[in-house]
Amino acid sequence: MRVYVLNGPNLGRLGIRQPEVYGATSYADLVANCQATGKELGLDVEVRQTDAEAELIGWLHQAADEEAGVVLNPAAWSHYSYAVRDACAMLRGPLVEVHISNIHAREEFRHHSVVSAVATGVICGLGVDGYRLALLHLAGLRDRSAR
Ligand code: DQA
């Protein structure tokens, strides 16, 4: 199963960016962890990050065309991008939305994600473990659909 792990703006600075909120894991470590988890679970994982909304939307279109699974941390776009939400709504595989921090325990503007209503499920507040849990869920779906 093909899985895109897509990350929105500022997530390329993980490890440097507000470590008290987002933890000490660097973006390079996150990529390596997701690839290792993919290998362990037999998922074909591709990890990407962009600060450009159009680029993310293009990747979502590609995932839709390929009927791939998606793990998406839309970062700040979660809170206001109807364009990202609309692209997510076109996906044909499962979508797990991940937030490293607990967005509900933070500033009010972070409490709502416009993406969540079109996601299969949402993981937030579990740090970078959320990505691993999302991949485990997708592998479970694959295994159940193979039966
Ligand atoms: C985030 C939470 C968002 O509110 C924020 O804009 C981010 C990261 C998270 O992973 O906790 O950039 O999505």
* 5-19 residue pLDDT tens: 999 999 999 999 999
Which domains, from first to last, does the chain contain? 2-123+130-146 (3.40.50.9100)
User: Is the CB–ligand 1 distance for residue 101 below 6 Å?
Assistant: yes
Q: How many CB atoms lie within 10 A of CB 41?
A: 18
Q: Which of 110, 102, 127 is nearest to 24 (CA)?
A: 127
ipTM of the predicted assembly exceeds 0.95: yes
Predicted pLDDT at 146? 79
Contact 144, 101 (CB under 8 A): no
User: Is the CB–ligand 1 distance for residue 137 below 6 Å?
Assistant: no
Contact 123, 28 (CB under 8 A): no
Considering the entire predicted model, what is its pTM? 0.97
**Percent above pLDDT 70 for the chain:** 100
Contact 45, 99 (CB under 8 A): no
Mean pLDDT of 10-32: 96
